[in-house]
Every structure is written in structure tokens, then in C-alpha cells.
């Protein structure tokens, strides 16, 4: 890695602010190299962070952080911010168990003023901070940094609408537009206009113009049109000014000689309580690393790699992931049924829909980061006889819970919800974990929920879900399963029915989803019966009661929250039938689980084979006379 002499001298932003401005471009190069080489060693978000190097420097250079609040939207572009705020030495632990989070966290640093990881929350949070400062009589500023993708969400516009009426709020919204580039001539013009429009002369002239020309409507209207025309050279419509913001930009987000003077001017406008400000900066994903610039999607969240070589395909093809199983099923079912349409809220690659988009472009809908709209949009399609499939991460469906109940479930519309990333997701941590879908879905009338144990069942249960005349969700985890090859046909499994996978004695383990396989391993040592339940709702009560009648104790296993989860469904069914059996419910506890390797996290929660066996032995040692649980080695 190249020399980091300047970067090594900065342990917090106060030291950054002491640097001469002439050294900031060199600092940016060092910071970019630091991000690249650290992410190459640990994996993580790369393209977005390479694009915010100069913006991070400029914000901490101009604003008095942490007194002034920076709120980063989503937060996967905050590695430069973290490095500049005293966490450079922790970068080798990024997204590792016990290490630094890949997202802002309030308990990690005072510079992380708001915990983020889901999209489009920054403007709301920053407005809250700005108005809290006003109410408390504190002289502080709040800055929301939001990406162009996050601006597709309705929540961002709700916040803009609210903020626009707060004329004395010291609020700046920065739109980090990284989906376009600025050519040099336009960039120079943008720089000049941005500094002009953020300066005292422009603000004063604008105010005087309103005072002097206001009484003469024709002249005032002419002046207003000239002003809009000047801004229209770089922004065709002054949308954000309609919300009550003073719009500035667009400006090159990699040009510190433009960024810093513009931010300094905006800071002065905020100090004068000149109303909410809106700065439009244009950056490039992957900036400074040509491989990421050429393919920012591939380098969005890579694993470990050699920066000199870039990403390479593994010599041995990896096992098929559940996401790939879904993507192939979607294409195959679309060929067979013309009614199928696919919907994603801005997660085409992550949800495995690239091939579907290419083959069926007129039946593919990317609605942007708008989960609420995605679900209600699917409901509208279903009303007209189509069969919508909404591919959505489990953690993001939470954002559309009202729409799921009100618009889909009450009307009993046949929408299929393909819930990717169910259960623990590893390095992204608690904000992205799909731990709650079983609990929050099974309480909704008319909604069914399937839990495939492997790749073959995933394809079959998707076909089962598609065949129903009511909403059905299919939950599956991130990554690959055990390697059970899916069938080539589109055969379905019986709706709401489980299967007996191993016959044992005295103990019956009821497994929901992919934890079937560690349950089978544990059962070999316990000589326990294992049932692959397949469905959290409807529960196969006929099979459950048969198993309960033939065994002394029952165990449920799920990669989801114990509270209200599949184990709770089993307990409710037994109680309703008047069956009394000792029941051990294994799953995820009532706490948020940190980031780390998924297998290690499962082991820490006692959900690997050894953990399941140990829990059963501890719980039923007295009832069944089982030997004491063997001592387990601590998981590092």
C-alpha cells in the first residue's frame, strides 16, 4: 500500500481541520488507498465508499463534527468517514465478529450520530436533530447525506415535505448522485454556479430583489424566471425548491476546490437561518479504482480479493445459492405461465432477477427503494388477474407491513413473496437479519408461510406458493444450502404438509427450514425422530399430533425469533388440542445479534448440530435420564 503519511496524522476531524487546504487532495488519495486495501482484505462495500472519499473529507473539514451532526443514509458508504473519525486501526476487523460494523452505529462512535443501514431515513433523522437543537437553544447544524437511489423512497419525500416548512431549521440535505458523470465543461460551470448560488451576494441579491421588485409583479416575475433559467442550465426543474429548499448544484463531488467553498457558503447560510439547504453533488461509484469504475455493481460488496488483480472467478464453481434457485424458478415459471410478473424494490442483482429482466423485460418491474409501493402495486396487478411475485429481503418486507395486511391479506390476493436473506445474514448484522418474518407473518389471516430445507424444496415450494389463490411467502436464507440439486420440472409439494425424515425414539425434533440438516445430525446421537415441517403456516397439525402421541418430548428448531415464531405455533396447536408434552423451543433469542460469520453466529446461538444436541440433553436430562450435555468448546 502507498504511503499514508497524511492519513496517519489524523486521529479525529479536529486534526483534519488543521491541515492546509492544499494538502487535502493528497489526503484523499491516501484515504482512497486505505479503503481499497482494507476492503480487499476483509470484504465489504467498496464502490460506494470509493465514491465518498472527497465528500467525507469536505464535510468534516467544513463542519464542526461531532457537534454538528452528519447523518449518512443507508450507511454502506461511510468507511472514509469511519477512518477519519478515529477508527482507522479497526478497519481490519470490519464486519468481523466482535469487530467494527459496516454501518454507522451510535454505540461505536460519537461521530455516528444516527444508526443506519436501511434506506431513506437520513432526512427525517437530521430534521429531528435540527429541530431538537432549535428547541434546546443549541447552535448546531444537521446534515443528511442521501444517495440518488434512496431518493426513490417515499419516506425521503415525506421528510422533504415536512422540512420545507421549517424555515429556521439549520438543515442541509446533500444528494449524492452517483448514477451520472459531469463532463469537464459542465463541471466548471456547475462549480461556478454552485459557489455563486451559495454565496452571500446571491442570497442578499435574492432577498433584496424580492423586497424591491415584489410590489411590481411583472418585474418580479421576470427576475424569478431569469433565476430559474440560470438554475435550469444545470437542473431542468427546480423540484427541491418547490419543497421549500434552497437548491444548489449540481457540483462535482470529487472536486475539493469546489466542494469546500460551496459547503463553507452553505454553512454561513445555515448560521443565518436562511431556511433548509439542498446541495446536489455528483460522484462516481468506484472512483479512483478503474476496475470498480468499470463495474461498480460487481464491486458493490465483494469478498476478499487482490486489488492488483481484481475479482476472479473461483476455479471450482460454488454451490448454487437459494437466490439462484429462485431466479431460475422465476424464469421457468414465467415461460409456463404468462400471468407471472416479477417485482423488486431496487434489488435486481441481490434477488437473482437479472436473467428474468433480460428475458421478460415487459413483465419485470423495479419500483425503486419503495417497498410499500411494491406490495400495493403487486396487489393491484393481482386484482386484474396477474400473478405477481415480489422478490424482497425479509428485513425489507418489514417496511411494507401495513400494505401487506391492508392491501394484500384482507383482500386475499394471490401475491407470492419470495423472502431472501431469511434468518441471520452474517457480516451485515442486525439491521439486515431476517429474524422476524415467521413471527410477523404467521399472525396475519390469509397469509401462508413456507420454510424450505434445501435447494430442491425451495424450487418446489415456490411452485406450491404460485399455485395458491391467496398470499404465500417462501422464506430462504442467504448463500448456498447443503447441495441438494433442484428438480428440472416445476413440480410442487403438498400445501401445508410436512414429512417424517428420521424415525427415532422418545424425542421428536420438529425442524423448520434449513436447520433440518443440523437437526438430523443431532438426532443421530440422540436417536431422535426428526420431522421436516416445511410450513410455519398452516401448520401440519395432523402430523404434529401423530408425532406428539408417539413421543415423550418435543423440540422445535428454527432460524428465526423464538418469540412468536414457529415453535410458538407448535405450542399453540398442542394447547388447542389439549395435548400436554414437554416442549423445548430452539431459535434466535430476544436480542439483536451482531455481525459475523453466519456459521459461527449460529453456533453461538446453539443452532448447529452440537448446540442442538447439548440443549436437548440439558433440558430433558431429568425427564428422560439422558447423560449430561457434553462440554462445548467456546466459539471464538
Q: Is 552 a residue of the active site? A: no
Residues linked to residue 282 through DSSP beta bridges, in sequence order:
177, 252
- Nearest CA among 508, 574, 563 for reference residue 541: 574
CB of 103 within 8 A of CB of 114? no
The residue from 371, 457, 558, 613 that is catalytic is 371
Give me the pLDDT at residue 181, please.
Answer: 42
Cα three-residue angle 320-315-292, rounded to 5 degrees: 85
Give me the pLDDT at residue 405, please.
Answer: 98
* 3 state DSSP class of 172: strand
- Nearest CA among 474, 480, 475 for reference residue 455: 480
- What are the residues whose beta carbons fall under 8 Å from the beta carbon of 318, sequence distance 6 or more? 480
| Number of CB atoms found within 10 A of residue 259's CB | 26
DSSP letter for 116, please: -
Distances (CA, A) of 593 to 101, 260, 426, 557, 589: 12, 39, 9, 17, 9
DSSP letter for 634, please: P
| Number of CB atoms found within 10 A of residue 14's CB | 11
The residue from 87, 95, 267, 285 that is catalytic is 285
Give me the pLDDT at residue 166, please.
Answer: 92
Q: Is 371 a residue of the active site? A: yes
- Nearest CA among 546, 462, 445 for reference residue 499: 546
Q: Where are the alpha helices (DSSP H) in 85-183?
A: 122-136, 154-163
The C-alpha cell of 258 is what? 469546489
The residue from 82, 284, 399, 537 that is catalytic is 399
Give me the pLDDT at residue 180, please.
Answer: 47
- Nearest CA among 448, 438, 370 for reference residue 416: 448
- Residue recorded with cell 451510535: 106
d(Cα 597, Cα 499) in Å, to the nearest integer? 31
d(Cα 404, Cα 441) in Å, to the nearest integer? 9
- What are the residues whose beta carbons fall under 8 Å from the beta carbon of 419, sequence distance 6 or more? 392, 393, 394, 397, 434, 437, 473, 474, 475, 476
Give me the pLDDT at residue 222, please.
Answer: 54
Give me the pLDDT at residue 524, please.
Answer: 97
Give me the pLDDT at residue 240, please.
Answer: 86
Give me the pLDDT at residue 201, please.
Answer: 46
- Nearest CA among 274, 307, 320, 302 for reference residue 479: 320
d(Cα 555, Cα 626) in Å, to the nearest integer? 15
Half-sphere exposure of 590 (CA within 13 A, CB side): 3
Q: What radius of gyration, in Å, describes the C-alpha atoms of the chain?
A: 28
- Nearest CA among 322, 599, 586 for reference residue 452: 322
* 3 state DSSP class of 389: strand
Give me the pLDDT at residue 179, please.
Answer: 64
CB of 608 within 8 A of CB of 514? no
Q: Quote the strand ranges of 507-566, DSSP E.
A: 507-512, 529-532, 535-537, 553-561
- Nearest CA among 316, 321, 314, 313 for reference residue 483: 321
Q: Is 399 a residue of the active site? A: yes
Which residues of the chain are under the pLDDT cut of 70?
1-2, 179-238, 628-636
- What are the residues whose beta carbons fall under 8 Å from the beta carbon of 46, sequence distance 6 or more? 35, 36, 39, 286, 289, 292, 299, 300, 301, 302
Domains and CATH numbers, the chain: 5-294 (3.40.50.970), 322-475 (3.40.50.970), 499-624 (3.40.50.920)
End-to-end Cα separation, the chain, in angstroms? 30
Amino acid at each position: 500500500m502507498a504511503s499514508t503519511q497524511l492519513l496517519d496524522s489524523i486521529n479525529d476531524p479536529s486534526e483534519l481541520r488543521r491541515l492546509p487546504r492544499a494538502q487535502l487532495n493528497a489526503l484523499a488519495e491516501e484515504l482512497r488507498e486505505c479503503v481499497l486495501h482494507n476492503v480487499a482484505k476483509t470484504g465489504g462495500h467498496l464502490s460506494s465508499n470509493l465514491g465518498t472519499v472527497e465528500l467525507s473529507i469536505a464535510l468534516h473539514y467544513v463542519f464542526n463534527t461531532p457537534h454538528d451532526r452528519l447523518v449518512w443514509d443507508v450507511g454502506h458508504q461511510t468507511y472514509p468517514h469511519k477512518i477519519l473519525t478515529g477508527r482507522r486501526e479497526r478497519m481490519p476487523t470490519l464486519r468481523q465478529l466482535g469487530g467494527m460494523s459496516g454501518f454507522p452505529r451510535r454505540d461505536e462512535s460519537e461521530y455516528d450520530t444516527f444508526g443506519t443501514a436501511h434506506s431513506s431515513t437520513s432526512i427525517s433523522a437530521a430534521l429531528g436533530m435540527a429541530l431538537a437543537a432549535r428547541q434546546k437553544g443549541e447552535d448546531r447544524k444537521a446534515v443528511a447525506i442521501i444517495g440518488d437511489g434512496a431518493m426513490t423512497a417515499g419516506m425521503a419525500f415525506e421528510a422533504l415535505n415536512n422540512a420545507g416548512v421549517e424555515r429556521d431549521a439549520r438543515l442541509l440535505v446533500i444528494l449524492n448522485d452517483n448514477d451520472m458523470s459531469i463532463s469537464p465543461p459542465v463541471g466548471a460551470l456547475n462549480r461556478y454556479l454552485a459557489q455563486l448560488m451559495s454565496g452571500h451576494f446571491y442570497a442578499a441579491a435574492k432577498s433584496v430583489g424580492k423586497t424591491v421588485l415584489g410590489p411590481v409583479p411583472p418585474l418580479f416575475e421576470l427576475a424569478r424566471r431569469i433565476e430559474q433559467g440560470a438554475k435550469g442550465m444545470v437542473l431542468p426543474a427546480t423540484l427541491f425548491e418547490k419543497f421549500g429548499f434552497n437548491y444548489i448544484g449540481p457540483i462535482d463531488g470529487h472536486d475539493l476546490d469546489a466542494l469546500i467553498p460551496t459547503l463553507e457558503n452553505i454553512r454561513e447560510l445555515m448560521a443565518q437561518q436562511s431556511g433548509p439547504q439542498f446541495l446536489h453533488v455528483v460522484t462516481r461509484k468506484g472512483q479512483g479504482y478503474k476496475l470498480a469504475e468499470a463495474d461498480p455493481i460487481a464491486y458493490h460488496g465483494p469478498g476478499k480479493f487482490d486489488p492488483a488483480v481484481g475479482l476472479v472467478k473461483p476455479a471450482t464453481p460454488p454451490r448454487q445459492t437459494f437466490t439462484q434457485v429462485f431466479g431460475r424458478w422465476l424464469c421457468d415459471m414465467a415461460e409456463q405461465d404468462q400471468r407471472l410478473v416479477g417485482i423488486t424494490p431496487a434489488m435486481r442483482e441481490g434477488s437473482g432477477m437479472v436473467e428474468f429482466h433480460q428475458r421478460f423485460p415487459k413483465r419485470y418491474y423495479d419500483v425503486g427503494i419503495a417497498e410499500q409501493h411494491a406490495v400495493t402495486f403487486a396487489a393491484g396487478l393481482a386484482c386484474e388477474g396477474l400473478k405477481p411475485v415480489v422478490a424482497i429481503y425479509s428485513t425489507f418486507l418489514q417496511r411494507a407491513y401495513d400494505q401487506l395486511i391492508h392491501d394484500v391479506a384482507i383482500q386475499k390476493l394471490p401475491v407470492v413473496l419470495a423472502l431472501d436473506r431469511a434468518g441471520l445474514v452474517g457480516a451485515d448484522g442486525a439491521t439486515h437479519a431476517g429474524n422476524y418474518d415467521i413471527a410477523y407473518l404467521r399472525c396475519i389471516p390469509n397469509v401462508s408461510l413456507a420454510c424450505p430445507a434445501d435447494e430442491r424444496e425451495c424450487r418446489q415450494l415456490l411452485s406450491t406458493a404460485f399455485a395458491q389463490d391467496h398470499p404465500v411467502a417462501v422464506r430462504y436464507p442467504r448463500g448456498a444450502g447443503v447441495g441438494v440439486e433442484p428438480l428440472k420440472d416445476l413440480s410442487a409439494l403438498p400445501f401445508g404438509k410436512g414429512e417424517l425424515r428420521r424415525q427415532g425414539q422418545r424425542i421428536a425434533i420438529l425442524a423448520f427450514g434449513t436447520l433440518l440438516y443440523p437437526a438430523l445430525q443431532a438426532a443421530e446421537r440422540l436417536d431422535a425422530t426428526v420431522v421436516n415441517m416445511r410450513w410455519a403456516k398452516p401448520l401440519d397439525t395432523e402430523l404434529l399430533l401423530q408425532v406428539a402421541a408417539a413421543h415423550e418430548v418435543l423440540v422445535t428448531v428454527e432460524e428465526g425469533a423464538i418469540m412468536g415464531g414457529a415453535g410458538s405455533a407448535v405450542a399453540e396447536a398442542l394447547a388447542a388440542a389439549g395435548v400436554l408434552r414437554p416442549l423445548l423451543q430452539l431459535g434466535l433469542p430476544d436480542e439483536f445479534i451482531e455481525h459475523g460469520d453466519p456459521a459461527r453466529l449460529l453456533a453461538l446461538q446453539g443452532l448447529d448440530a452440537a448446540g442442538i444436541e447439548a440443549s436437548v440433553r440439558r433440558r430433558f436430562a431429568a425427564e428422560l435420564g439422558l447423560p449430561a450435555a457434553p462440554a462445548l468448546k467456546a466459539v471464538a
